[in-house]
Chains A and B, each alone.
Chain A
Amino acid sequence: MQNNLPRSIDDTLDLLARGRYVADRALATVIFLALKMGRPLFLEGEAGVGKTEIAKVLAQSLGRNLIRLQCYEGLDVSSAVYEWNYPAQMIDIRLAEAAGVKDREQLAVSVFSEQFLIRRPLLQALQGLPGEAPVLLVDELDRTDEAFEAFLLEVLSDFQVTIPELGTIKATDPPIVVITSNRTREVHDALKRRCLYHWLGYPDVDRELHIIRARKPEAPEALSRQVVHFVQGLRGMDLFKPPGVAETLDWVSALHELDSVSLDPQIINDTLGVLLKYQDDIVKLEGSEAKRLLDQIRAEIRAQTPA
Chain B
Amino acid sequence: MAKTLSMILWTAPYGCQNTSTALKLARAAAQKGYSVRLFASGDGVHNFTNGQKASGIPNAEKEFSELMQSGLKVELCGTCLNFRGVMSEDIVVGAERSTMKNLFSMVKESDVCITLWA
Q: A and B: real partners? A: no
Interface residues of B (CB under 8 A from A): none
Interface residues of A (CB under 8 A from B): none
